[in-house]
Chains A and B, each alone.
Chain A
Amino acid sequence: GAGVSQSPSNKVTEKGKDVELRCDPISGHTALYWYRQSLGQGLEFLIYFQGNSAPDKSGLPSDRFSAERTGGSVSTLTIQRTQQEDSAVYLCASSLAGLNQPQHFGDGTRLSIL
């Protein structure tokens, strides 16, 4: 389909392991966002990529979290040395260029840390 694609849809891992989450945005969307949604909570902004500009990392909760976006398209969110409090749904969204554009979301990756 033409929507935002995220993989895996579910990930279960042991505390202390590293995980990588992938997001494939809508073709032509230059802006890409990562959010975290914990149970019963709203969306917590993590990181924002816009074109070739330096990403806005202001929402990353610790230095265990990092993200990259290769070739202005696919993005990977990496969590190192996972902790139980990292358990959440990680949502990716993309949009056209420009601030405050309507965002299109993927179905998310549900991450469970044992």
Chain B
Amino acid sequence: GEDVEQSLFLSVREGDSSVINCTYTDSSSTYLYWYKQEPGAGLQLLTYIFSNMDMKQDQRLTVLLNKKDKHLSLRIADTQTGDSAIYFCAGGSYIPTFGRGTSLIVHP
């Protein structure tokens, strides 16, 4: 099955860009997803990318996909304190497999 790995923590200064990285093993994933989880809430779908795309931009979010290296990244431009949350990447060819999540901490 799919295995998805993420770094556990990222700390950035408000206004800087954040880059959250993810690696996966299942090259047959049709879609790859980024979800955001705020305290006490479920996961909110942020964005997703088709496996035949290299990049997708959505306002402050940029997703980059390197299929050769099986590497996915999420860049958040002009990071704000409201972006502090846990970010999960997910993918797979069947039921999506989730990484353990990256805690993004934004400080003034």
Residues of B in contact, count (CB < 8 Å) = 25
Which A residues are in CB contact (< 8 Å) with B35?
105
Which A residues fall within an 8 A CB radius of B?
Answer: 4, 6, 33, 35, 40-43, 45, 48, 56, 91, 93, 99-100, 102-108
In the complex, what distance in Å separates the CA atom of A74 from the CA atom of B43? 19
Measured between C-beta atoms, what is the minimum distance from A59 to chain B in Å?
8
Query: In the complex, A91 Cα to B92 Cα: how many Å?
Result: 19
Interface pair B43/A33, CB less than 8 Å apart: no
- The answer to whether A91 touches B45 (Cβ under 8 A) is no
Chain B residues packing against A (C-beta within 8 Å):
4, 29-31, 33, 35, 40-45, 48, 88, 91-101
Q: Do B42 and A107 have beta carbons less than 8 Å apart?
A: yes
Chain A residues, Cβ within 8 Å of B93: 99-100
Q: Which residues of B contact A6 (CB under 8 A)?
A: 42
Query: Given known contacts A33-B95, A102-B31, is B43 in contact with A41 (CB within 8 Å)?
Result: no
Which of chain B's residues has its CB closest to A108's CB? B42
For A107, give the chain B residue with the smallest CB separation.
B42
A41 to B31, CA, bound (A): 22
In the bound complex, CA of A105 to CA of B46 (Å): 12
